[in-house]
Structure 1
Amino acid sequence: MTRLFLAALALLVALPVALPAAAEEIGSVGYRFKWLGPNDKIVVEAFDDPDLAGITCYLARARTGGLKGMVGLAEDPPYASISCHQVGPVDAEKAEKLKSPHEVFSERASLIFKTTQVVRFYDPKRRALIYLTYTDRVIEGSPQNSISVVPVGLR
């Protein structure tokens, strides 16, 4: 029984490390008026790379308003832009050992089948982290995407 409890406790401690980052909303602007419910808007969010301290990404994406948006049934457009920056010291050796590609952010863009994701790649030749954002859907995703590059450990 004690082993089972310790295993469950270890899983709970490790779980937050294994999950993609959560975004913090910085602000938003309305771009389309809706008679009922909130307006359509562009939201700017920030999240820190969950595996590498010193990197913050800013994500701007469209959110659908109206009655469906208000109750969480709307499907958000697949448009997003990303800009990632070094905001503190980055461990270059750790960056080289990171899994590539690796999902660092994911959030739903519709009730069940659509998500906006950020995937991190590492380019060892150029010593750079590349962050790609895109929206996918179970049946048909969108090729619209945006990337941001952060150089690591320049000599």
Structure 2
Amino acid sequence: MTIKKVLVVTSVIFFSVALHAEQIGSVDTVFKVFGPDHKIVVEAFDDPDVKNVTCYLSRAKTGGIKGGLGLAEDTSDAAISCQQVGPVELSEKIAQGKTEGDVVFRKRTSLVFKKLQVVRFYDKNRNALIYLSYSDKVVDGSPKNALSAVPIMPWGK
């Protein structure tokens, strides 16, 4: 592979579109003398394809000198909770419910090769949206994951 191809592939991975999450808050977990402390960060994002579903994601963020420079690899620890916050209408595409799910959130958790993802599934039999958060890596992903289910309920007036 030529240097040019490597740079293109690296750029695509590094700058891949990540859906925006709003940081709600954080707590320190380990004090670091140099650089920021290790943290647990709480973020919120709205499902880009389903109006009125919001997910809250907590994840580990590595501090220290490498973390402060954006060079550290965050652990695969994360939790998720999603809620219906208004009337939900599913598109025909989502209602068909493909079995591999749709990525609704992606965040880089290392300089290049690791990312945290949230994938949405639709459970037609129970009329519920299922959100799975997990971390993957080009060579070796993690089995750590978290799950949240949003039953689609009628919304009061």
For 1:140, give the aligned amino acid. Answer: D
Residue 48 and residue 90 in structure 1: after superposition, are their counterparts in 2 closer, same or farther (change >3 A)?
A: same
Deviations 1:63-117 (A, max 9, x none): 0000000000000000000000001110146552465500000010000000000
CA contact (8 A) 1:64 1:76 kept: yes
The two structures have a TM-score, normalised by structure 2, of: 0.82
Q: Count matched residues.
A: 136
CA offset digits 1:30-73 (Å, max 9, x no partner): 00010100000000000000001000000000000000000000
Stretches of structure 1 lacking an aligned partner (at least 5 in a row): 1-18
Is contact 2:37-2:64 (8 Å) kept?
yes
Contact 1:62–1:76 under 8 Å retained in 2? yes
Q: Match of 2:66, SS?
A: helix
Letter in 2 for 1:64: T
Following TM superposition, the consecutive aligned residue runs of length 4 or more in structure 1 with deviations greater than 6 angstroms are none
Which of 72, 75, 79 is the equivalent residue of 2:73?
Answer: 75
Question: Partners of 1:115 and 1:74 in 2: how far apart?
Answer: 12
Aligned to 2:50: 52
For the pair 1:63 / 2:61, whether they are aligned, the reply is: yes
Task: Name the TM-score, length of structure 1 as normaliser.
Answer: 0.83
Query: What CA distance in whole angstroms lies between the structure 1 residues aligned with 2:126 and 2:57?
Result: 24
Corresponding letter in the other structure for 2:115: T
1:20 and 1:91, CA in 2 relative to 1: closer, same or farther beyond 3 A?
Answer: farther
Matching residue of 1:6: none
> Cα gap change, 1:139/1:89 in structure 2, threshold over 3 Å: closer, same or farther?
same
Closer/same/farther in 2, CA of residues 153 and 99 from structure 1, 3 Å limit: farther
Structure 2 residue runs of 5 or longer lacking an equivalent are 1-16
Separation in structure 2 between the aligned mates of residue 131 and residue 77 of structure 1, nearest angstrom: 20
Name the counterpart of 2:118. 118
